[in-house]
């Protein structure tokens, strides 16, 4: 009798072990949808909600963001609570996780802390230290369990925003209390994270960009080659369509402005992760929507339209970004009463259509709410800045020319100005912050942002504008 009980107990134990083993080795499907560099564009979110909800009925599904959800749509950026419409729509759409991109920092750490607290999903970043800020919820990584599948995401943000510094491409004055590290310096700390978390899948949710930066910061391609820890790298920052394999690792990016959503289907089992399918879905061609999310998007748009659709000027021709750069600097020069006004090329985010100019278009051109500042400096110091900054600028006022290794500066009457001549140089304060070693003196800070100055210029002027063919751009080569 005792022997019979022993045999029964042994059989039961073996059955449990085999059952557990079969469960652990059983292959499971997982779908991950990903977006990046949305820049405030909420119009296609209702389509994403519909797509993801359909897939969730088939197998476990996760929706992720690889950063830069803000800055680019005045409905979101200029809302009474800047950025809140995006968070609300992301909550409704069902995002599972997001990594911080450089433009998440555009409104400073205090506002970012509020937006993160309002999120129904975690934000991650492994190479940012928020200990001196109100931001407490952001962790280096997060493991999400869905239908028994454990997926670990590691967050990474680019840090090539300023010469001689390790910060993202945002206003340096907005991130004074945040300490950043280069991704390559912290990645070895997370080599064994997959085993530590007992995860089935390990994914880098990256806002590094796909290629190495001039400052020596790695991109996703280098990440796959040098740090091959990951089952997939989902990226952003460089606004590209990327669906490739590097060193056996899928590297993905879904362009920008929510024109596309990326999809990767994985099969997980026997301690292996197989890519079954990966693709980019064109959202502009997709027609089905979730009605509740679509209604929320319409409500935000309608709330802001009365302000944003006000007409303040008229352009006789369609203007390229270069021509907008001429218009932009001419307007700021007029308001600042400067001799020369410059604008960084990355600060011009949109072209301008022929016809009425609206407040919406001004904020689309200049979404960053940068302050404005005027410096007095010598022509010699101006030349030093232009030579050593390694940057190109749109400009209005004086004429800038390069002859060999020299810069020649002329006034409106074509008189060559000597190095000792003092001028008034106007700019947005982002330029002053990024190139602070050239602007050590105290400048005059205006009360208006650069976009507010542009609106003031059009409100003051009753004439149509025509900057067709204007190409006032200078970069020392």
Task: Please classify residue 216 by burial: count the beta carbons closer than 10 Å to its beta carbon, then call 0-12 exposed, 13-18 middle and 19+ buried.
Answer: exposed
Last residue within a domain, chosen from 302, 326, 352: 302
Same domain, residue pair 268 and 357: no
pLDDT given at position 216:
76
CA quadruple 387, 391, 394, 396: dihedral, nearest 10? -30
Same domain, residue pair 295 and 330: no
Task: Please classify residue 161 by burial: count the beta carbons closer than 10 Å to its beta carbon, then call 0-12 exposed, 13-18 middle and 19+ buried.
Answer: buried
pLDDT given at position 331:
98
Cα–Cα nearest to 279, from 317, 247, 241 = 241
Longest distance between any two alpha carbons in the chain, whole Å:
114
pLDDT given at position 21:
37
pTM of the model: 0.91
Same domain, residue pair 91 and 189: yes
Looking only at the bridges linking them, the beta strands covering 422-428 and 372-378 are antiparallel
What DSSP character marks residue 217?
-
The pLDDT of residue 41 is above 80: yes
Same domain, residue pair 370 and 354: yes
Q: Is residue 20 part of a domain?
A: no
Q: Is residue 385 part of a domain?
A: yes
pLDDT given at position 441:
86
For residue 460, the enclosing domain spans 310-474
Name, in order, each residue with C-beta under 8 angstroms of 56's C-beta and a sequence gap of 6 or more. Answer: none
Same domain, residue pair 145 and 254: yes
CB 325 within 8 A of CB 283: no
Q: Quote the mean pLDDT of the chain.
A: 94
CB 219 within 8 A of CB 209: yes
Same domain, residue pair 245 and 382: no
Same domain, residue pair 323 and 292: no
pLDDT given at position 2:
43
Same domain, residue pair 108 and 253: yes
pLDDT given at position 25:
62
Cα distances from 288 to residues 47, 50, 53, 65, 296, in angstroms, run 6, 7, 12, 21, 16
Same domain, residue pair 36 and 133: yes
The Cα–Cα gap between 262 and 431 comes to 34
CB 251 within 8 A of CB 221: yes
The pLDDT of residue 18 is above 70: no
What DSSP character marks residue 258?
T
Q: Is residue 15 part of a domain?
A: no
Q: Is 258 left (phi over 0), alpha (psi -120 to 50) or beta?
A: left
**Any idea which residue has 């405030």 for tokens?**
40
Q: How many residues does the chain have?
A: 477
Q: Is residue 8 part of a domain?
A: no
Name, in order, each residue with C-beta under 8 angstroms of 1's C-beta and a sequence gap of 6 or more. Answer: none
Q: Which residues are 232's β-sheet partners?
A: 203
What DSSP character marks residue 415?
P
The pLDDT of residue 421 is above 70: yes
CATH number, domain with residue 43: 3.60.21.10
The pLDDT of residue 3 is above 60: no
pLDDT band at 364 (very low <50, low <70, confident <90, very high): very high
Same domain, residue pair 241 and 336: no
Number of domains in the chain: 2
Q: Angle, to 10 degrees, between the axis of helix 450-460 and the axis of helix 321-336?
A: 80
The Cα–Cα gap between 40 and 348 comes to 16
The DSSP annotation for 305-371 comes to: HHHHT-EEEEESS-B-HHHHHHHHHHHHHHHHT-SEEEEEGGG----B-SEEEEHHHHHHH--S---
pLDDT given at position 9:
45
The pLDDT of residue 328 is above 60: yes
Last residue within a domain, chosen from 251, 272, 302: 302
pLDDT tens column, 332-353: 999 999 999 999 999 999 999 9
Q: Is residue 2 part of a domain?
A: no
The pLDDT of residue 16 is above 80: no
**Any idea which residue has 């009360």 for tokens?**
447
Same domain, residue pair 378 and 242: no
The Cα–Cα gap between 112 and 105 comes to 7
| Tokens representing residue 357 in the block | 């100019």
CB 201 within 8 A of CB 141: no
Residue 113 CB coordination number (10 Å): 17
pLDDT band at 422 (very low <50, low <70, confident <90, very high): very high
Same domain, residue pair 385 and 297: no
- Arithmetic mean of pLDDT, 40-48: 98
CATH number, domain with residue 365: 3.90.780.10
pLDDT given at position 135:
97
Last residue within a domain, chosen from 281, 302, 323: 302
pLDDT given at position 23:
43
Judged by DSSP in three states, 191 sits in coil
Q: Is residue 428 part of a domain?
A: yes
Q: Is residue 7 part of a domain?
A: no
Q: Is residue 104 part of a domain?
A: yes
Cα–Cα nearest to 105, from 164, 176, 155, 35 = 176
| Own/partner long-range contacts of 109-118 (Cβ < 8 Å, ≥24 apart) | 109/133, 109/134, 109/135, 109/174, 109/175, 109/177, 109/178, 110/134, 111/82, 111/83, 114/81, 115/83, 115/84, 115/87, 118/84, 118/87, 118/88, 118/91
CB 115 within 8 A of CB 85: no
pLDDT tens column, 254-288: 999 999 999 999 999 999 999 999 999 999 999 99
pLDDT given at position 322:
98
The Cα–Cα gap between 286 and 277 comes to 19
């Amino acid at each position: 009798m005792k022997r019979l009980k022993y045999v029964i107990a042994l059989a039961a134990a073996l059955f449990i072990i085999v059952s557990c083993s079969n469960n652990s080795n059983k292959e499971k499907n997982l779908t991950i949808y990903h977006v990046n560099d949305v820049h405030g564009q909420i119009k296609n979110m209702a389509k994403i909600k519909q797509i993801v909800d359909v897939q969730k009925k088939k197998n476990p599904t996760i929706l992720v963001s690889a950063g830069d959800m803000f800055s680019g749509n005045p409905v979101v950026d200029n809302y009474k609570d800047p950025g809140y419409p995006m968070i609300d729509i992301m909550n409704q759409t069902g995002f599972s996780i997001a990594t911080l991109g450089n433009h998440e920092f555009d409104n400073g750490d205090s506002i970012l802390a509020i937006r993160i607290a309002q999120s129904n999903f975690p934000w991650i970043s492994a190479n940012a230290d928020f200990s001196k800020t109100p931001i407490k919820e952001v962790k280096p990584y997060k493991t999400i369990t869905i239908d028994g599948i454990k997926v670990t995401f590691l967050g990474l943000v680019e840090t090539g925003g300023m010469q001689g510094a390790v910060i993202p491409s945002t206003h340096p004055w907005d991130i004074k209390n945040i300490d950043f590290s280069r991704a390559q310096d912290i990645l070895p700390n997370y080599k064994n994270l997959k085993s530590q978390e007992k995860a089935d899948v390990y994914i880098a949710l990256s806002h590094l960009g796909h290629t190495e930066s001039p400052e020596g910061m790695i991109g996703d391609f280098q990440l796959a080659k040098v740090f091959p820890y990951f089952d997939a790298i989902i990226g952003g920052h460089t606004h590209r369509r990327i669906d490739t394999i590097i060193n056996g690792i899928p590297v993905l990016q879904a362009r920008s402005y929510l024109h596309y959503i990326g999809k990767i289907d994985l099969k997980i089992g026997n301690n292996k992760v197989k890519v079954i399918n990966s693709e980019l879905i064109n959202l502009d061609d997709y027609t089905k929507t979730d009605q509740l999310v679509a209604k929320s998007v319409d409500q935000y748009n309608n709330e802001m339209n009365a302000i944003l659709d006000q007409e303040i000027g008229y352009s006789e021709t369609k203007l390229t970004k270069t021509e907008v750069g001429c218009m932009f600097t001419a307007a700021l020069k007029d308001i600042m009463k400067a001799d020369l006004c410059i604008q960084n090329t990355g600060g011009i985010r949109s072209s301008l259509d022929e016809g009425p100019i609206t407040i919406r278009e001004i904020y689309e051109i200049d979404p960053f709410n940068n302050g404005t500042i005027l410096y007095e400096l010598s022509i010699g110091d101006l030349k030093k800045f232009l030579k050593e900054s390694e940057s190109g600028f749109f400009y209005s006022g004086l004429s800038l020319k390069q002859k060999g290794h020299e810069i020649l500066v002329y006034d409106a009457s074509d008189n060559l100005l000597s190095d000792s001549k003092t001028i008034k140089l106007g700019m947005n304060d982002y330029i002053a912050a990024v190139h602070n070693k050239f602007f050590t003196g105290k400048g005059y800070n205006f009360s208006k942002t650069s976009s507010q100055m542009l609106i003031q210029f059009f409100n003051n002027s009753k004439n149509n504008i025509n900057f067709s063919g204007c190409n006032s751009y200078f970069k020392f080569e």
